[in-house]
């Protein structure tokens, strides 16, 4: 690697040895003692921590070892199907792996931790979604790749149309005001269920989308600001113009 090239998150944290230390601490010290999580992993294989470390390594820019050894994205998703994971379990998993990151000595600089926590939040929300009864997630996708850009994510609703203040009676349309609120990765994460860039799909699922936006469970990596939730509500209640 050239000195003037930015290292991957995988390189910055110290590679697979550090990730393996992280996952061993996480499962042995925290998960095994936790009343919410221990039952979920009671029958896990002895090499489960190493498998999760390999997955995280590929996600954070390391070798494509998880894809080569275990089957990539499709295999990871298959491990969650039908589990019916709860939001409480998701939040506990995310909190404890961040504690384990401290114990394992992962870098503590703000840029790295922001990227790390961003992926943990995004990934665990998807795990809950994919584990729901009747879920039919997309299996044939590559392992997601998380980089430093996620430490400063694309602002939600950052398009020119949504930056300025709107007049109270200004007509709200899907094309100009609503579609730009959904980022490319929001669309990708929900593609298995519906297309967030399709007027027909959003109009068809508007009640469910509105509910999740108000709950703060959509998008997966953080709730919308109140102003954007209100904008979506205005569009929904004013006739859902194209």
Mean pLDDT confidence for 9-21: 96
193 three-class SS: coil
Percentage, residues of the chain above pLDDT 90: 33
How far apart are the C-alpha atoms of 52 and 122, rounded to whole Å?
16
- Higher per-residue pLDDT: 1 or 144: 144
Domain 9-150 has CATH 3.40.50.720: no
Verdict on whether the full-model pTM lies above 0.85 = no
Q: Which of residues 66 and 207 earns the better pLDDT score?
A: 66
Q: Is the preceding omega at residue 219 within 30 degrees of 0, hence cis?
A: yes
CA distance 173 to 12: 44
pLDDT digits (tens, 9 = 90+) for 219-232: 766 778 888 888 88
Instruction: Let me know how many helices (H) and strands (E) the chain has, helices first.
Output: 12, 0
Cα radius of gyration (the chain): 20
Interatomic CA distance for residues 212 and 207, integer angstroms: 9
- Which pLDDT score, from 0 to 100, does residue 158 have? 39
Query: Predicted confidence band at 240 (pLDDT cuts at 50, 70, 90)?
Result: confident
- Whether 19 contacts 146, CB under 8 Å: no
Domain ranges of the chain: 9-150, 154-237
For the segment 76-116, what is each residue's pLDDT rounded down to a tens digit?
888 888 888 998 999 899 999 999 999 999 998 888 888 89
From residue 184, alpha-carbon distances to 64, 131, 155, 219 in Å are: 23, 23, 12, 11
What is the average pLDDT value for the chain, to the nearest integer? 83
pLDDT tens figures, 17-75? 999 999 999 999 999 999 999 998 888 889 999 999 999 999 999 999 999 999 988 88
């Amino acid at each position: 690697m050239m000195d003037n090239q930015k290292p991957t998150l995988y390189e910055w944290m110290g590679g697979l040895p550090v990730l393996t230390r992280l996952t061993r601490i996480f499962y042995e010290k925290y998960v095994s003692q936790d009343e919410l999580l221990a039952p979920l992993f009671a029958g896990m294989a002895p090499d489960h921590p190493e498998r999760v470390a390999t997955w995280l390594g590929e996600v954070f820019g390391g070798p494509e070892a998880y894809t080569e050894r275990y089957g990539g994205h499709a295999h990871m998703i298959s491990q969650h199907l039908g589990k019916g994971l709860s939001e409480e379990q998701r939040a506990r998993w995310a909190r404890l792996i961040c504690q384990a990151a401290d114990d394992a000595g992962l870098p503590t600089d703000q840029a790295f931790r922001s990227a790390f926590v961003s992926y943990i939040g995004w990934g665990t929300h998807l795990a809950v979604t994919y584990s729901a009864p009747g879920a039919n997630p997309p299996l044939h996708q590559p392992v997601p790749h998380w980089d430093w850009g996620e430490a400063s994510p694309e602002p939600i609703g950052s398009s020119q149309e949504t930056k300025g203040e709107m007049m109270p009676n200004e007509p709200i349309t899907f094309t100009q005001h609503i579609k730009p609120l959904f980022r490319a990765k929001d669309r990708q994460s929900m593609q298995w269920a519906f297309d967030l860039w399709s007027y027909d799909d959003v109009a068809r699922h508007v009640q469910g989308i509105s509910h999740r936006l108000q709950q703060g469970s959509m998008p997966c990596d953080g709730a919308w600001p109140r102003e954007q939730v209100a904008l979506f509500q205005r569009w929904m209640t004013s006739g859902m113009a194209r």
